[in-house]
Amino acid sequence: MCGIVGYIGKKRNAIDTLIDGLKRLEYRGYDSAGFAVINNNKIKTIKETGKVVGLQRKLQEEWSEYKDTSINLGIAHTRWATHGEPNHDNCHPHCDNNEKFAIVHNGIIENYQALKTQLELKGCKFNSETDSEVIVHLISECFEGDLAQAVAATVKKLEGTFGIAAIALEDSNSMVVARSGSPIAIGIGNDETIVASDIAALVAYTKRVIFLDDDDLAVITADGVDIRTLNNVPVSRETTHIDWDTTDAEKGGYEHFMMKEIYEQPTAISNSIRGRLDFKLETAVLNGLNFTPIEMAQINRIIIAACGTSMHAGMVGEYYFEDLASIPTEVEQAAEFRYRNPIIEKNSLVLAISQSGETADTLAAVKEAQNKGAIVAGLCNVVGSTIARETGRGVYLHAGPEIGVASTKAFTCQTTVLLMLALKLGRNRRLSGQDGMKLIKEINNISTLVETVLEQADNIAQIAKKYAKMNNFFFIGRGYLFPAALEGALKLKEISYVHAEGYHAAELKHGPIALLEESVPVLALANDIAGKDKIIGNMQECRARKSPVIATATIGDKSIEEHSDDIIWIPECSEFVAPIVTVVALQLFSYYFAYERGCDIDQPRNLAKSVTVE
Ligand code: G6P
């Protein structure tokens, strides 16, 4: 949450690079935005509430001639408010009372109140309600002529999480960054260095990136980076080559990132699968897991820790691992995993699933699991992200950047990868070569099936429009389609702000059925797989209460028509593939529904894509 960007170099105007970077990081928060640069021997800040376009407008109004000045150094921030409402004073960057230092911060300073009281007693004036402001006052207090030393002394006093970028008026040739718990990526260019919370802001300028570890501090200059510990001991961090393209992080003609990412799914899934199916040994190849066959055979329990959409993907994984590999599996909401003191036995595999690889609760679960001696692996999309590095073993999705706040392609790629992992674990146990091959063929066909769903977009749009005035929804499913129902409901509420609940179809009658009436539609996942007959019964129960029923049904399955008001057709597939393919239809339904209601689809209110606070 919150995105930070920093630029130092002579190649281009710092402000343009900062604004461009903020736009690319806006999915991390869009309550307010601001930047600080050194100009005419002063730290100049411009801030604005709301989105980055507002900041850009303000820049044009207040300082349109900025392009005529050579500005080589600056820091910038897009905020997701935690402490203090999104007003001008709470916008970052924050400056000290003498305006000699400026900082941007991503994370939460848990002991800020105590630090603030101490600083106020010494006469320090606070201009905001944020936790972040203490950082800049502490830097000012600790400064003895060297910004790196002042930042090191400051962060030693901080409790909580932070990614910080700081500049000092005295030194316009460097910037200092530090991290603990919140990501900092450093893009190494030619005669320029760019810092950001996420590589999305860097790939336009360089593909060479260094990721800081916790408790690293780095002095950034136009020529590169000098990384050290907080005690000034030099450390070296490897440079990663990023293969994302700039166009991957742009809309490419689509009105919204979400729609672009929905349509990218066939390609993204193919990329997740590429090189990972072994037709000869009838299994999957997931080298990043680094398991020998013996180690793999010893895994006797799997615990999946994740949040949001990733958790729903994990729930599908639970079915896969139990059905195909006979490994007892449970899915834990990551925050709950951490705080309820889970029992981890020898040979338990904890699988952390996270698109961003930065979700604070999932990261905390990883640390708790490692602490308890579990084998921990990550399933992440963002290369070099904290969870990917912390786990040290796992599988990357290779889905490309996901910018729309509502997750889409991450879900379908996560479930595809989980299916490959179940295939691998299954083949390592009782799954026959014949069944392995059958599964390989199904996995290989997922992209084509998703394309068939995308071809139904017009029909789905019509149905979404028809129901767009409704304010309450239920999504119901059974078996493999139960997690899909949860994900469908999550998508609808995330982007359209409509109350939508995902329920197991059988559970509906244990309470929620009391809410059913004409104005409460039920979206029933009634594909022709195990459980269909039972869900037809549930659909009848809903209709008997006058709820309109929209069904997903397998193409050609006429039996659903008499039990539903509208049908979204899904291509025929096995139960393993059904949740992946069906969710694509539900993504489209939510998109068109929210579109019809005029919602801000890519940046829904109150949400952020990368939730780096607990
Ligand atoms: C946020 C996002 C969701 C996402 C969840 C987990 O809530 O808005 O779309 O599913 O975080 O994120 P992760 O990056 O860990 O998958």
Each residue of 530-547: pLDDT tens digit? 999 999 999 999 999 999
| For ligand 1, mutation pick of 611, 612, 613, 614 (most atoms within 8 Å of CB) | 611
Lowest mean pLDDT segment, chosen from 86-100, 242-256, 269-283, 539-553: 242-256
Gap between the Cα atoms of 326 and 425, Å rounded? 9
Each residue of 559-598: pLDDT tens digit? 999 999 999 999 999 999 999 999 999 999 999 999 999 9
Each residue of 158-204: pLDDT tens digit? 998 899 999 999 999 999 999 998 889 999 999 999 999 988 899 89
- Tell which residue, 153, 132, 151, has the closest CA to residue 226: 151
Q: Which residues have a catalytic role annotated?
A: 2, 609
Question: How far is ligand 1, taken at its centre, from the CA of residue 115, in Å?
Answer: 32
Residue 346's pLDDT is what? Answer: 87
Cβ neighbours for 510, distance < 8 A, ≥ 6 positions apart: none
Question: How far is ligand 1, taken at its centre, from the CA of residue 305, in Å?
Answer: 12
Each residue of 141-160: pLDDT tens digit? 999 999 999 999 999 999 98
Atom of ligand 1 nearest to the CA of 407: 9
Tell me the pLDDT band of 80, cut-offs 50, 70 and 90: confident
Integer CA distances (angstroms), 133 to 73, 94, 568, in order: 21, 6, 51
Each residue of 109-139: pLDDT tens digit? 989 999 999 999 999 999 999 999 999 999 9
- With contact defined as beta carbons under 8 Å apart, do 547 and 564 qualify? no
Question: How far is ligand 1, taken at its centre, from the CA of residue 392, in Å?
Answer: 21
Residue 101's pLDDT is what? Answer: 98
Atom of ligand 1 nearest to the CA of 387: 15
Q: What residues flank ligand 1, with Cβ below 6 Å?
A: 307-310, 354-356, 359, 362, 405-407, 607, 609, 611
Atom of ligand 1 nearest to the CA of 608: 8
Which residue's alpha carbon is at the smallest distance from atom 1 of ligand 1? 609
Residue 49's pLDDT is what? Answer: 94
DSSP state of 398: -
Which residue's alpha carbon is at the smallest distance from atom 15 of ligand 1? 354
| For ligand 1, mutation pick of 333, 354, 609, 613 (most atoms within 8 Å of CB) | 609
* Choice between 478 and 246, residue whose per-residue pLDDT is larger: 478
- With contact defined as beta carbons under 8 Å apart, do 21 and 52 qualify? no
Which element (helix H / strand E) includes 376? strand 375-380
Domains of the chain: 3-249 (3.60.20.10), 252-444 (3.40.50.10490), 446-599 (3.40.50.10490)
Q: Does residue 611 have a pLDDT over 80?
A: no
Helix (H, G, I), strand (E, B) or coil at 510: coil
- With contact defined as beta carbons under 8 Å apart, do 405 and 27 qualify? yes
Gap between the Cα atoms of 73 and 562, Å rounded? 66
- Report the interhelical angle of 14-25 vs 52-63 (nearest 10°): 160
Question: How far is ligand 1, taken at its centre, from the CA of residue 406, in Å?
Answer: 8
> Average pLDDT of 213-227?
96
Residue 17's pLDDT is what? Answer: 95
Helix (H, G, I), strand (E, B) or coil at 541: helix
Which residue's alpha carbon is at the smallest distance from atom 4 of ligand 1? 308
Question: How far is ligand 1, taken at its centre, from the CA of residue 445, in Å?
Answer: 27
Each residue of 436-453: pLDDT tens digit? 999 999 999 999 999 999
Integer CA distances (angstroms), 7 to 42, 71, 299, in order: 17, 10, 46
Question: How far is ligand 1, taken at its centre, from the CA of residue 217, in Å?
Answer: 28
Each residue of 386-409: pLDDT tens digit? 999 999 999 999 998 898 889 999
Angle at 237 between CA 352 and CA 18, to 5 degrees: 85
Atom of ligand 1 nearest to the CA of 607: 8
Residue 83's pLDDT is what? Answer: 84
Residue 27's pLDDT is what? Answer: 80
> Average pLDDT of 303-328?
98
Residue 587's pLDDT is what? Answer: 98
Relative to beta strand 277-278, strand 171-180 is unpaired
- With contact defined as beta carbons under 8 Å apart, do 185 and 209 qualify? yes
| For ligand 1, mutation pick of 1, 28, 307 (most atoms within 8 Å of CB) | 307
**pTM here?**
0.82
Average pLDDT, the chain: 94
| % of the chain at pLDDT higher than 90 | 84
CA 159 to chain centre: 24
Residue 406's pLDDT is what? Answer: 93
> Average pLDDT of 235-258?
83
Query: In 372-480, where does DSSP find H-type helix?
Result: 386-391, 409-427, 433-444, 446-454, 457-466
Which residue's alpha carbon is at the smallest distance from atom 13 of ligand 1? 354
3-state SS, 462-484, equals HHHHHCCCCCEEEEEECCCHHHH
Q: Does residue 251 have a pLDDT over 80?
A: no
Tell me the pLDDT band of 384, cut-offs 50, 70 and 90: confident
Which residue's alpha carbon is at the smallest distance from atom 7 of ligand 1? 308
Atom of ligand 1 nearest to the CA of 382: 14
Atom of ligand 1 nearest to the CA of 309: 10
Atom of ligand 1 nearest to the CA of 405: 8
Question: How far is ligand 1, taken at its centre, from the CA of residue 308, in Å?
Answer: 5
- With contact defined as beta carbons under 8 Å apart, do 227 and 212 qualify? yes
Residue 266's pLDDT is what? Answer: 96
| For ligand 1, mutation pick of 304, 316, 359, 495 (most atoms within 8 Å of CB) | 359
Residue 86's pLDDT is what? Answer: 82
Question: How far is ligand 1, taken at its centre, from the CA of residue 47, in Å?
Answer: 27
Tell me the pLDDT band of 509, cut-offs 50, 70 and 90: confident
Residue 81's pLDDT is what? Answer: 80
Tell me the pLDDT band of 85, cut-offs 50, 70 and 90: confident
